Structure 1
Amino acid sequence: MEFHSLGVRQTALSMLRGGARNADVARHLDVPLGTVSYWKHIDRCKRGEPVAIRPSLLCPRCDGRALDQSAYAYLLGLYLGDGHISHYVKHKVPSLMITLDNAWPGIQDEAEAALQAVFPHNATCRVRTAGAQNIKVYFKHLPCLFPQHGPGRKHERRIVLEDWQQEIVDAHPWAFLRGLIHSDGCRVTNWTVRNGKRYEYPRYFFTNKSDDIRKLCTDTLTKVGVRWTVLARGSDPFNVSVARKDCVALMDAHIGPKY
Protein backbone atom coordinates (compact mmCIF):
# COMPACT_ATOMS: atom_id res chain seq x y z
CA MET A 1 0.00 0.00 0.00
CA GLU A 2 1.37 3.44 -0.92
CA PHE A 3 1.15 6.15 1.74
CA HIS A 4 0.83 9.83 0.83
CA SER A 5 2.06 12.75 2.90
CA LEU A 6 -0.25 14.99 4.88
CA GLY A 7 0.64 17.84 2.55
CA VAL A 8 -0.51 15.92 -0.52
CA ARG A 9 -3.78 15.05 1.19
CA GLN A 10 -4.40 18.64 2.28
CA THR A 11 -3.67 19.90 -1.23
CA ALA A 12 -6.13 17.38 -2.63
CA LEU A 13 -8.84 18.41 -0.17
CA SER A 14 -8.30 22.10 -0.95
CA MET A 15 -8.73 21.39 -4.65
CA LEU A 16 -11.81 19.24 -4.05
CA ARG A 17 -13.42 21.84 -1.82
CA GLY A 18 -12.75 24.37 -4.56
CA GLY A 19 -14.81 22.33 -6.98
CA ALA A 20 -12.14 20.33 -8.78
CA ARG A 21 -13.15 16.96 -10.18
CA ASN A 22 -11.80 13.82 -8.51
CA ALA A 23 -10.10 12.72 -11.73
CA ASP A 24 -8.39 16.09 -12.22
CA VAL A 25 -7.07 16.05 -8.63
CA ALA A 26 -5.80 12.48 -9.03
CA ARG A 27 -4.06 13.34 -12.29
CA HIS A 28 -2.53 16.56 -10.96
CA LEU A 29 -1.13 14.97 -7.78
CA ASP A 30 -0.38 11.55 -9.30
CA VAL A 31 -2.59 9.87 -6.70
CA PRO A 32 -4.93 6.91 -7.45
CA LEU A 33 -8.48 8.00 -8.22
CA GLY A 34 -9.86 5.66 -5.56
CA THR A 35 -7.68 7.29 -2.92
CA VAL A 36 -8.90 10.75 -3.88
CA SER A 37 -12.52 9.57 -3.76
CA TYR A 38 -11.93 8.08 -0.32
CA TRP A 39 -10.37 11.29 0.98
CA LYS A 40 -13.31 13.29 -0.33
CA HIS A 41 -15.81 10.90 1.25
CA ILE A 42 -14.12 11.06 4.69
CA ASP A 43 -13.82 14.85 4.48
CA ARG A 44 -17.50 15.30 3.67
CA CYS A 45 -18.49 13.00 6.54
CA LYS A 46 -16.34 14.96 9.00
CA ARG A 47 -17.87 18.23 7.82
CA GLY A 48 -21.40 16.88 8.19
CA GLU A 49 -22.22 17.11 4.50
CA PRO A 50 -24.70 14.65 2.99
CA VAL A 51 -22.94 11.71 1.41
CA ALA A 52 -24.63 9.93 -1.48
CA ILE A 53 -24.73 6.14 -1.22
CA ARG A 54 -24.46 4.15 -4.43
CA PRO A 55 -27.77 2.44 -5.26
CA SER A 56 -25.94 -0.88 -5.57
CA LEU A 57 -25.21 -0.71 -1.83
CA LEU A 58 -28.76 0.00 -0.66
CA CYS A 59 -30.66 -2.84 1.04
CA PRO A 60 -34.47 -3.20 0.92
CA ARG A 61 -34.42 -4.33 4.55
CA CYS A 62 -31.86 -1.92 6.03
CA ASP A 63 -32.32 1.16 3.83
CA GLY A 64 -35.90 0.82 2.62
CA ARG A 65 -35.02 0.41 -1.06
CA ALA A 66 -37.94 -0.71 -3.20
CA LEU A 67 -38.20 -4.47 -3.67
CA ASP A 68 -39.89 -6.27 -6.58
CA GLN A 69 -41.91 -8.63 -4.41
CA SER A 70 -43.11 -10.97 -7.15
CA ALA A 71 -39.55 -11.44 -8.46
CA TYR A 72 -38.33 -11.91 -4.89
CA ALA A 73 -40.97 -14.60 -4.18
CA TYR A 74 -39.83 -16.49 -7.29
CA LEU A 75 -36.16 -16.04 -6.36
CA LEU A 76 -36.85 -17.23 -2.81
CA GLY A 77 -38.33 -20.45 -4.21
CA LEU A 78 -35.26 -20.94 -6.41
CA TYR A 79 -32.94 -20.24 -3.49
CA LEU A 80 -34.63 -22.77 -1.20
CA GLY A 81 -34.24 -25.39 -3.90
CA ASP A 82 -31.03 -24.81 -5.84
CA GLY A 83 -29.43 -21.74 -4.33
CA HIS A 84 -26.83 -20.92 -1.74
CA ILE A 85 -24.91 -17.91 -0.43
CA SER A 86 -21.14 -18.04 -0.19
CA HIS A 87 -18.53 -15.58 1.01
CA TYR A 88 -15.02 -16.44 -0.13
CA VAL A 89 -12.13 -14.67 1.59
CA LYS A 90 -10.88 -13.16 -1.69
CA HIS A 91 -14.25 -11.52 -2.34
CA LYS A 92 -15.30 -8.43 -0.43
CA VAL A 93 -19.03 -9.24 -0.52
CA PRO A 94 -21.06 -12.48 -0.48
CA SER A 95 -22.62 -13.93 -3.60
CA LEU A 96 -25.96 -15.59 -4.24
CA MET A 97 -25.65 -18.48 -6.68
CA ILE A 98 -28.54 -20.39 -8.28
CA THR A 99 -27.42 -23.60 -10.03
CA LEU A 100 -29.73 -24.59 -12.89
CA ASP A 101 -29.53 -27.45 -15.38
CA ASN A 102 -28.66 -26.70 -19.01
CA ALA A 103 -31.68 -28.77 -20.03
CA TRP A 104 -33.86 -25.79 -19.11
CA PRO A 105 -32.37 -22.64 -20.70
CA GLY A 106 -35.68 -20.79 -20.33
CA ILE A 107 -35.57 -21.22 -16.56
CA GLN A 108 -31.97 -20.00 -16.53
CA ASP A 109 -33.10 -16.84 -18.33
CA GLU A 110 -36.06 -16.39 -15.99
CA ALA A 111 -33.83 -16.81 -12.94
CA GLU A 112 -31.38 -14.20 -14.19
CA ALA A 113 -34.26 -11.83 -14.95
CA ALA A 114 -35.48 -12.28 -11.36
CA LEU A 115 -32.01 -11.50 -10.02
CA GLN A 116 -31.91 -8.35 -12.12
CA ALA A 117 -35.35 -7.30 -10.87
CA VAL A 118 -34.48 -7.86 -7.20
CA PHE A 119 -30.99 -6.35 -7.56
CA PRO A 120 -31.48 -3.74 -10.32
CA HIS A 121 -28.22 -1.91 -9.56
CA ASN A 122 -25.97 -4.98 -9.30
CA ALA A 123 -24.49 -6.88 -12.21
CA THR A 124 -25.35 -10.56 -12.64
CA CYS A 125 -23.16 -13.20 -14.24
CA ARG A 126 -23.20 -16.83 -15.31
CA VAL A 127 -20.50 -19.36 -14.57
CA ARG A 128 -20.56 -22.58 -16.54
CA THR A 129 -20.19 -25.85 -14.69
CA ALA A 130 -20.71 -29.49 -15.70
CA GLY A 131 -24.19 -29.69 -17.27
CA ALA A 132 -25.42 -26.51 -15.59
CA GLN A 133 -24.91 -22.81 -15.09
CA ASN A 134 -24.35 -20.94 -11.84
CA ILE A 135 -26.28 -17.69 -12.06
CA LYS A 136 -24.79 -15.22 -9.60
CA VAL A 137 -25.07 -11.79 -8.08
CA TYR A 138 -22.84 -10.11 -5.48
CA PHE A 139 -24.47 -8.00 -2.78
CA LYS A 140 -23.34 -7.06 0.71
CA HIS A 141 -26.76 -7.51 2.32
CA LEU A 142 -27.67 -10.95 0.94
CA PRO A 143 -28.05 -12.40 4.48
CA CYS A 144 -30.63 -9.68 5.18
CA LEU A 145 -32.75 -10.78 2.23
CA PHE A 146 -32.18 -14.50 2.72
CA PRO A 147 -31.96 -15.01 6.51
CA GLN A 148 -32.31 -18.77 5.95
CA HIS A 149 -28.62 -18.74 5.04
CA GLY A 150 -26.44 -20.64 7.48
CA PRO A 151 -23.74 -23.29 7.82
CA GLY A 152 -24.45 -26.78 6.55
CA ARG A 153 -27.07 -28.17 4.21
CA LYS A 154 -30.59 -26.77 4.28
CA HIS A 155 -32.21 -30.09 5.19
CA GLU A 156 -29.90 -30.35 8.21
CA ARG A 157 -31.02 -27.07 9.80
CA ARG A 158 -34.25 -25.26 10.58
CA ILE A 159 -35.76 -23.32 7.67
CA VAL A 160 -38.43 -20.81 8.70
CA LEU A 161 -39.59 -17.71 6.84
CA GLU A 162 -39.54 -14.41 8.67
CA ASP A 163 -42.84 -12.54 8.94
CA TRP A 164 -41.98 -10.10 6.14
CA GLN A 165 -41.05 -13.01 3.83
CA GLN A 166 -44.29 -14.84 4.63
CA GLU A 167 -46.25 -11.69 3.77
CA ILE A 168 -44.57 -11.59 0.36
CA VAL A 169 -45.25 -15.30 -0.23
CA ASP A 170 -48.90 -14.81 0.78
CA ALA A 171 -49.17 -11.93 -1.68
CA HIS A 172 -47.40 -13.81 -4.51
CA PRO A 173 -47.95 -17.52 -3.84
CA TRP A 174 -47.74 -18.64 -7.45
CA ALA A 175 -44.41 -16.88 -8.00
CA PHE A 176 -43.05 -18.68 -4.93
CA LEU A 177 -44.40 -22.05 -6.09
CA ARG A 178 -43.02 -21.44 -9.57
CA GLY A 179 -39.56 -20.95 -8.08
CA LEU A 180 -39.85 -24.14 -6.02
CA ILE A 181 -41.01 -26.22 -9.00
CA HIS A 182 -38.40 -24.72 -11.32
CA SER A 183 -35.69 -25.71 -8.84
CA ASP A 184 -36.70 -28.99 -7.19
CA GLY A 185 -39.88 -29.91 -9.04
CA CYS A 186 -41.07 -31.27 -12.36
CA ARG A 187 -44.14 -31.98 -14.48
CA VAL A 188 -44.24 -35.55 -15.77
CA THR A 189 -46.63 -37.79 -17.66
CA ASN A 190 -47.60 -40.94 -15.80
CA TRP A 191 -49.41 -43.89 -17.30
CA THR A 192 -51.40 -46.88 -16.16
CA VAL A 193 -53.19 -49.80 -17.80
CA ARG A 194 -56.87 -50.48 -17.12
CA ASN A 195 -58.77 -53.28 -18.81
CA GLY A 196 -55.95 -53.71 -21.26
CA LYS A 197 -55.94 -50.01 -22.27
CA ARG A 198 -53.13 -47.56 -21.56
CA TYR A 199 -54.08 -44.25 -19.92
CA GLU A 200 -51.72 -41.29 -19.57
CA TYR A 201 -52.09 -38.37 -17.19
CA PRO A 202 -49.83 -35.48 -16.11
CA ARG A 203 -48.77 -34.79 -12.55
CA TYR A 204 -46.42 -32.47 -10.67
CA PHE A 205 -43.73 -33.44 -8.20
CA PHE A 206 -41.75 -31.40 -5.72
CA THR A 207 -38.86 -33.27 -4.11
CA ASN A 208 -36.76 -31.91 -1.26
CA LYS A 209 -35.15 -33.55 1.76
CA SER A 210 -35.97 -30.64 4.06
CA ASP A 211 -39.19 -31.19 6.02
CA ASP A 212 -39.44 -27.42 6.49
CA ILE A 213 -39.09 -26.58 2.80
CA ARG A 214 -41.61 -29.25 1.80
CA LYS A 215 -44.01 -27.79 4.35
CA LEU A 216 -43.56 -24.32 2.88
CA CYS A 217 -44.48 -25.84 -0.47
CA THR A 218 -47.52 -27.77 0.74
CA ASP A 219 -48.82 -24.90 2.89
CA THR A 220 -48.68 -22.61 -0.14
CA LEU A 221 -50.30 -25.22 -2.39
CA THR A 222 -53.16 -25.51 0.09
CA LYS A 223 -53.62 -21.73 0.17
CA VAL A 224 -54.05 -21.57 -3.62
CA GLY A 225 -56.49 -24.47 -3.64
CA VAL A 226 -54.22 -27.23 -4.93
CA ARG A 227 -54.69 -30.66 -3.33
CA TRP A 228 -51.53 -32.66 -2.82
CA THR A 229 -50.29 -35.93 -1.39
CA VAL A 230 -46.95 -37.22 -0.14
CA LEU A 231 -45.52 -40.01 -2.24
CA ALA A 232 -42.88 -42.01 -0.40
CA ARG A 233 -40.30 -43.89 -2.39
CA GLY A 234 -39.05 -46.58 -0.10
CA SER A 235 -38.96 -45.11 3.39
CA ASP A 236 -38.23 -41.52 2.27
CA PRO A 237 -41.31 -39.25 2.16
CA PHE A 238 -39.52 -36.57 0.16
CA ASN A 239 -41.96 -36.26 -2.75
CA VAL A 240 -44.97 -33.94 -2.84
CA SER A 241 -47.34 -35.03 -5.61
CA VAL A 242 -50.14 -33.16 -7.37
CA ALA A 243 -52.14 -35.53 -9.57
CA ARG A 244 -55.83 -34.55 -9.47
CA LYS A 245 -56.94 -33.34 -12.89
CA ASP A 246 -58.35 -29.98 -11.77
CA CYS A 247 -55.30 -29.24 -9.62
CA VAL A 248 -52.88 -30.13 -12.41
CA ALA A 249 -54.83 -27.79 -14.69
CA LEU A 250 -54.45 -25.02 -12.10
CA MET A 251 -50.71 -25.69 -11.88
CA ASP A 252 -50.48 -25.65 -15.67
CA ALA A 253 -52.16 -22.26 -15.77
CA HIS A 254 -49.61 -20.71 -13.42
CA ILE A 255 -46.45 -22.81 -13.77
CA GLY A 256 -46.42 -25.31 -16.67
CA PRO A 257 -43.64 -27.64 -17.77
CA LYS A 258 -40.01 -26.68 -17.42
CA TYR A 259 -38.58 -25.08 -20.52
Structure 2
Amino acid sequence: MNFHGTDVRHKAIAQLRAGARNADVARALGIPLGTVGYWRHLDRAERGECPGSHHPRCPRCDGRDLDAAAYTYLLALYLGDGHIIQYSSHRVPSLMITCGDDWPGLMDACETAMRAVFPDNSVCRVSRTGCHNVKIYSMHLWCLFPQHGKGKKHERPIVLEPWQQQIVDEHPWEFLRGLIHSDGCRITNWTTRMVGGERKRYEYPRYFFTNKSDDIRRLFSDTLTKVGVEWTVLARGGDPFNISVARKASVALMDRHIGPKY
Protein backbone atom coordinates (compact mmCIF):
# COMPACT_ATOMS: atom_id res chain seq x y z
CA MET A 1 0.00 0.00 0.00
CA ASN A 2 1.40 3.36 -1.05
CA PHE A 3 0.95 6.31 1.30
CA HIS A 4 1.36 9.83 -0.03
CA GLY A 5 3.12 12.53 1.92
CA THR A 6 1.78 15.88 3.02
CA ASP A 7 3.66 17.72 0.24
CA VAL A 8 1.96 15.65 -2.45
CA ARG A 9 -1.43 16.25 -0.90
CA HIS A 10 -0.83 20.00 -0.67
CA LYS A 11 0.17 20.09 -4.34
CA ALA A 12 -2.97 18.17 -5.28
CA ILE A 13 -5.24 20.46 -3.25
CA ALA A 14 -3.60 23.56 -4.76
CA GLN A 15 -4.23 22.27 -8.29
CA LEU A 16 -7.81 21.29 -7.44
CA ARG A 17 -8.57 24.71 -5.97
CA ALA A 18 -7.13 26.25 -9.14
CA GLY A 19 -9.76 24.40 -11.15
CA ALA A 20 -7.91 21.26 -12.28
CA ARG A 21 -9.92 18.10 -12.81
CA ASN A 22 -9.41 15.11 -10.53
CA ALA A 23 -8.15 12.96 -13.40
CA ASP A 24 -5.60 15.57 -14.48
CA VAL A 25 -4.25 15.92 -10.94
CA ALA A 26 -3.99 12.17 -10.51
CA ARG A 27 -2.13 11.83 -13.80
CA ALA A 28 0.22 14.72 -13.10
CA LEU A 29 1.19 13.55 -9.61
CA GLY A 30 1.04 9.82 -10.26
CA ILE A 31 -1.52 9.03 -7.57
CA PRO A 32 -4.81 7.08 -7.68
CA LEU A 33 -7.89 8.91 -8.91
CA GLY A 34 -9.84 7.76 -5.84
CA THR A 35 -7.24 9.33 -3.56
CA VAL A 36 -7.57 12.66 -5.34
CA GLY A 37 -11.35 12.48 -5.04
CA TYR A 38 -11.12 11.77 -1.33
CA TRP A 39 -8.69 14.65 -0.75
CA ARG A 40 -10.98 16.99 -2.67
CA HIS A 41 -13.96 15.91 -0.60
CA LEU A 42 -12.11 16.48 2.68
CA ASP A 43 -10.87 19.89 1.53
CA ARG A 44 -14.37 20.97 0.55
CA ALA A 45 -15.76 19.69 3.84
CA GLU A 46 -13.16 21.61 5.83
CA ARG A 47 -14.14 24.79 4.00
CA GLY A 48 -17.87 24.18 4.50
CA GLU A 49 -18.61 23.58 0.82
CA CYS A 50 -20.29 20.19 1.38
CA PRO A 51 -23.66 20.71 3.09
CA GLY A 52 -24.08 18.15 5.84
CA SER A 53 -20.56 16.80 5.43
CA HIS A 54 -19.41 18.01 8.84
CA HIS A 55 -22.03 16.01 10.72
CA PRO A 56 -23.56 13.35 8.45
CA ARG A 57 -26.58 11.89 10.16
CA CYS A 58 -27.03 8.18 10.82
CA PRO A 59 -30.22 6.07 10.84
CA ARG A 60 -28.99 4.23 13.92
CA CYS A 61 -27.53 7.15 15.87
CA ASP A 62 -29.78 10.02 14.82
CA GLY A 63 -32.91 8.26 13.63
CA ARG A 64 -32.86 9.71 10.12
CA ASP A 65 -34.79 7.88 7.44
CA LEU A 66 -33.09 4.87 5.86
CA ASP A 67 -33.72 3.68 2.31
CA ALA A 68 -34.37 0.12 3.45
CA ALA A 69 -34.39 -1.48 -0.01
CA ALA A 70 -31.08 0.13 -0.95
CA TYR A 71 -29.59 -0.83 2.41
CA THR A 72 -30.65 -4.46 2.01
CA TYR A 73 -28.97 -4.65 -1.39
CA LEU A 74 -25.82 -2.92 -0.11
CA LEU A 75 -25.68 -5.20 2.94
CA ALA A 76 -25.72 -8.23 0.64
CA LEU A 77 -22.96 -6.78 -1.53
CA TYR A 78 -20.91 -6.16 1.60
CA LEU A 79 -21.37 -9.75 2.78
CA GLY A 80 -20.20 -10.99 -0.60
CA ASP A 81 -17.54 -8.68 -2.01
CA GLY A 82 -17.17 -5.88 0.52
CA HIS A 83 -14.90 -4.98 3.37
CA ILE A 84 -14.47 -2.11 5.81
CA ILE A 85 -10.99 -0.79 6.54
CA GLN A 86 -9.43 2.11 8.40
CA TYR A 87 -5.85 3.00 7.60
CA SER A 88 -3.74 4.63 10.27
CA SER A 89 -3.39 7.67 8.00
CA HIS A 90 -7.19 8.12 7.71
CA ARG A 91 -9.46 9.24 10.53
CA VAL A 92 -12.57 7.90 8.80
CA PRO A 93 -13.13 4.22 7.89
CA SER A 94 -14.15 3.27 4.37
CA LEU A 95 -16.47 0.70 2.87
CA MET A 96 -15.27 -0.82 -0.39
CA ILE A 97 -17.30 -3.10 -2.67
CA THR A 98 -15.24 -4.76 -5.40
CA CYS A 99 -17.13 -4.87 -8.72
CA GLY A 100 -15.81 -6.60 -11.83
CA ASP A 101 -15.46 -4.46 -14.94
CA ASP A 102 -17.45 -7.08 -16.87
CA TRP A 103 -20.58 -5.96 -15.00
CA PRO A 104 -20.93 -2.16 -15.38
CA GLY A 105 -24.61 -2.34 -14.46
CA LEU A 106 -23.71 -3.94 -11.13
CA MET A 107 -21.18 -1.18 -10.48
CA ASP A 108 -23.81 1.49 -11.16
CA ALA A 109 -26.32 -0.27 -8.91
CA CYS A 110 -23.75 -0.46 -6.12
CA GLU A 111 -22.96 3.25 -6.35
CA THR A 112 -26.67 4.14 -6.45
CA ALA A 113 -27.28 2.08 -3.31
CA MET A 114 -24.35 3.72 -1.50
CA ARG A 115 -25.63 7.19 -2.31
CA ALA A 116 -29.13 6.26 -1.14
CA VAL A 117 -27.91 4.81 2.17
CA PHE A 118 -25.33 7.57 2.80
CA PRO A 119 -26.85 10.69 1.18
CA ASP A 120 -24.47 13.05 3.02
CA ASN A 121 -21.28 11.31 1.88
CA SER A 122 -19.33 11.16 -1.36
CA VAL A 123 -18.87 7.97 -3.38
CA CYS A 124 -15.88 7.27 -5.60
CA ARG A 125 -14.61 4.46 -7.81
CA VAL A 126 -11.02 3.30 -7.52
CA SER A 127 -9.68 1.46 -10.55
CA ARG A 128 -7.95 -1.88 -10.08
CA THR A 129 -6.91 -4.56 -12.57
CA GLY A 130 -10.12 -5.98 -13.99
CA CYS A 131 -12.34 -4.29 -11.43
CA HIS A 132 -13.22 -1.13 -9.55
CA ASN A 133 -13.62 -0.60 -5.82
CA VAL A 134 -16.76 1.42 -5.23
CA LYS A 135 -15.87 3.30 -2.07
CA ILE A 136 -17.39 5.51 0.57
CA TYR A 137 -16.05 7.03 3.81
CA SER A 138 -18.26 7.35 6.88
CA MET A 139 -17.88 7.31 10.65
CA HIS A 140 -21.18 5.40 10.80
CA LEU A 141 -20.12 2.30 8.89
CA TRP A 142 -19.79 0.41 12.18
CA CYS A 143 -23.40 1.34 12.99
CA LEU A 144 -24.87 0.00 9.77
CA PHE A 145 -22.55 -2.97 9.25
CA PRO A 146 -22.03 -4.55 12.68
CA GLN A 147 -20.83 -7.75 10.96
CA HIS A 148 -17.44 -6.07 10.52
CA GLY A 149 -14.61 -7.69 12.43
CA LYS A 150 -11.05 -8.93 12.25
CA GLY A 151 -10.23 -11.70 9.83
CA LYS A 152 -12.06 -13.17 6.86
CA LYS A 153 -15.84 -13.47 6.97
CA HIS A 154 -15.83 -17.25 6.69
CA GLU A 155 -13.53 -17.45 9.72
CA ARG A 156 -15.86 -15.61 12.10
CA PRO A 157 -19.59 -15.69 12.89
CA ILE A 158 -21.83 -13.65 10.60
CA VAL A 159 -25.18 -13.03 12.25
CA LEU A 160 -27.70 -10.31 11.41
CA GLU A 161 -28.90 -8.04 14.18
CA PRO A 162 -32.69 -8.22 14.79
CA TRP A 163 -33.20 -4.83 13.13
CA GLN A 164 -31.26 -6.00 10.08
CA GLN A 165 -33.20 -9.25 9.85
CA GLN A 166 -36.44 -7.28 9.94
CA ILE A 167 -35.28 -5.16 6.99
CA VAL A 168 -34.17 -8.25 5.05
CA ASP A 169 -37.55 -9.89 5.73
CA GLU A 170 -39.25 -6.79 4.31
CA HIS A 171 -37.01 -6.71 1.21
CA PRO A 172 -35.93 -10.32 0.60
CA TRP A 173 -35.45 -9.98 -3.15
CA GLU A 174 -33.10 -7.04 -2.75
CA PHE A 175 -31.04 -9.15 -0.36
CA LEU A 176 -30.97 -12.10 -2.76
CA ARG A 177 -30.15 -9.84 -5.69
CA GLY A 178 -27.17 -8.37 -3.83
CA LEU A 179 -25.84 -11.81 -2.91
CA ILE A 180 -26.22 -13.07 -6.49
CA HIS A 181 -24.56 -9.91 -7.82
CA SER A 182 -21.61 -10.43 -5.50
CA ASP A 183 -21.00 -14.17 -5.17
CA GLY A 184 -23.53 -15.65 -7.55
CA CYS A 185 -24.37 -16.04 -11.20
CA ARG A 186 -26.99 -17.21 -13.68
CA ILE A 187 -25.61 -19.72 -16.16
CA THR A 188 -26.86 -22.09 -18.84
CA ASN A 189 -26.13 -25.74 -18.17
CA TRP A 190 -26.49 -28.54 -20.67
CA THR A 191 -26.94 -32.26 -20.70
CA THR A 192 -27.96 -34.91 -23.21
CA ARG A 193 -30.98 -37.20 -23.33
CA MET A 194 -32.34 -39.83 -25.66
CA VAL A 195 -35.23 -38.60 -27.81
CA GLY A 196 -36.68 -41.06 -30.31
CA GLY A 197 -33.58 -43.17 -30.15
CA GLU A 198 -31.34 -40.18 -30.83
CA ARG A 199 -29.20 -38.43 -28.24
CA LYS A 200 -29.93 -34.72 -28.21
CA ARG A 201 -28.45 -31.80 -26.33
CA TYR A 202 -30.69 -30.16 -23.74
CA GLU A 203 -29.94 -26.74 -22.20
CA TYR A 204 -31.41 -25.27 -19.05
CA PRO A 205 -30.67 -22.16 -16.92
CA ARG A 206 -29.74 -22.28 -13.26
CA TYR A 207 -28.51 -19.96 -10.53
CA PHE A 208 -25.43 -20.56 -8.39
CA PHE A 209 -24.31 -18.93 -5.17
CA THR A 210 -20.85 -19.74 -3.81
CA ASN A 211 -19.45 -18.58 -0.48
CA LYS A 212 -17.15 -20.23 2.07
CA SER A 213 -19.04 -18.80 5.02
CA ASP A 214 -21.58 -21.26 6.41
CA ASP A 215 -23.45 -18.34 7.96
CA ILE A 216 -23.69 -16.33 4.73
CA ARG A 217 -24.82 -19.39 2.76
CA ARG A 218 -27.45 -20.00 5.44
CA LEU A 219 -28.70 -16.42 5.15
CA PHE A 220 -28.99 -16.91 1.40
CA SER A 221 -30.76 -20.28 1.58
CA ASP A 222 -33.11 -19.22 4.39
CA THR A 223 -34.16 -16.19 2.35
CA LEU A 224 -34.69 -18.37 -0.74
CA THR A 225 -36.99 -20.59 1.28
CA LYS A 226 -38.99 -17.62 2.55
CA VAL A 227 -39.74 -16.43 -1.00
CA GLY A 228 -40.63 -19.92 -2.24
CA VAL A 229 -37.49 -20.78 -4.20
CA GLU A 230 -36.36 -24.41 -4.08
CA TRP A 231 -32.62 -24.93 -3.73
CA THR A 232 -30.03 -27.64 -3.24
CA VAL A 233 -26.45 -27.81 -1.99
CA LEU A 234 -23.95 -28.76 -4.66
CA ALA A 235 -20.67 -30.04 -3.22
CA ARG A 236 -17.59 -29.82 -5.40
CA GLY A 237 -14.41 -31.51 -4.30
CA GLY A 238 -16.11 -32.39 -1.05
CA ASP A 239 -16.72 -28.74 -0.16
CA PRO A 240 -20.43 -27.78 0.20
CA PHE A 241 -19.84 -24.16 -0.75
CA ASN A 242 -22.34 -23.99 -3.62
CA ILE A 243 -26.09 -23.44 -3.52
CA SER A 244 -27.92 -24.27 -6.74
CA VAL A 245 -31.35 -23.21 -7.98
CA ALA A 246 -32.25 -25.35 -10.99
CA ARG A 247 -35.95 -26.25 -10.87
CA LYS A 248 -37.82 -24.57 -13.69
CA ALA A 249 -40.42 -22.76 -11.56
CA SER A 250 -37.78 -21.50 -9.12
CA VAL A 251 -35.49 -20.29 -11.91
CA ALA A 252 -38.45 -18.46 -13.46
CA LEU A 253 -39.16 -16.81 -10.11
CA MET A 254 -35.53 -15.75 -9.77
CA ASP A 255 -35.59 -14.40 -13.33
CA ARG A 256 -38.59 -12.20 -12.52
CA HIS A 257 -36.88 -10.60 -9.55
CA ILE A 258 -33.13 -10.86 -10.26
CA GLY A 259 -32.02 -11.99 -13.72
CA PRO A 260 -28.44 -12.24 -14.97
CA LYS A 261 -25.76 -9.72 -14.04
CA TYR A 262 -25.05 -7.06 -16.62
Match of 2:220 in 1: 217
Aligned positions of 1:97-116 closer than 5 A: 97-116=96-115
Post-superposition offset of 1:58: 1.2
Contact preservation (8 Å) 1:56, 1:122: no
Gaps of 5+ in 2: 1-44
1:232 pairs, out of 222, 229, 235, with: 235
Post-superposition offset of 1:35: 9.8
Post-superposition offset of 1:56: 5.0
* Aligned length, in residue pairs: 212
Deviations along 1:143-179, one digit per CA (max 9) or x if unpaired, are 1100000000000000000000000000000000000
Match of 2:127 in 1: 128
SS of 2:96's equivalent? strand
Match of 1:171 in 2: 170
Match of 2:36 in 1: none
2:134 aligned partner, one-letter code: I
Contact preservation (8 Å) 1:73, 1:168: yes
The whole-number CA distance in structure 2 between the counterparts of 1:225 and 1:140 is 38
What's the C-alpha RMSD, in Å, of the aligned pairs?
1.8
Match of 1:203 in 2: 206
Gaps of 5+ in 1: 1-33, 38-51
The whole-number CA distance in structure 1 between the counterparts of 2:100 and 2:69 is 23
The whole-number CA distance in structure 2 between the counterparts of 1:106 and 1:192 is 31
Deviations along 1:79-122, one digit per CA (max 9) or x if unpaired, are 00000000011111100000011010000000000000001111
The whole-number CA distance in structure 1 between the counterparts of 2:76 and 2:55 is 23
Match of 2:26 in 1: none
2:245 aligned partner, one-letter code: V
Residue 258 to residue 68, structure 1, CA distance change in 2 (3 Å): same
Contact preservation (8 Å) 1:61, 1:144: yes
The whole-number CA distance in structure 2 between the counterparts of 1:35 and 1:192 is 62
Aligned positions of 1:1-259 closer than 5 A: 57-195=56-194, 196-259=199-262
Post-superposition offset of 1:57: 2.0
Deviations along 1:37-96, one digit per CA (max 9) or x if unpaired, are 9xxxxxxxxxxxxxx975752111011111100000000110000000000111111000
The whole-number CA distance in structure 2 between the counterparts of 1:53 and 1:254 is 35
Percent of aligned pairs sharing the same letter: 69
Contact preservation (8 Å) 1:55, 1:121: no
Match of 1:8 in 2: none
TM-score by length of 2: 0.78
The whole-number CA distance in structure 1 between the counterparts of 2:107 and 2:159 is 26
Match of 1:22 in 2: none
Match of 2:10 in 1: none
1:174 aligned partner, one-letter code: W
Contact preservation (8 Å) 2:208, 2:244: yes
TM-score by length of 1: 0.79
The whole-number CA distance in structure 2 between the counterparts of 1:36 and 1:113 is 26
The whole-number CA distance in structure 1 between the counterparts of 2:52 and 2:189 is 54
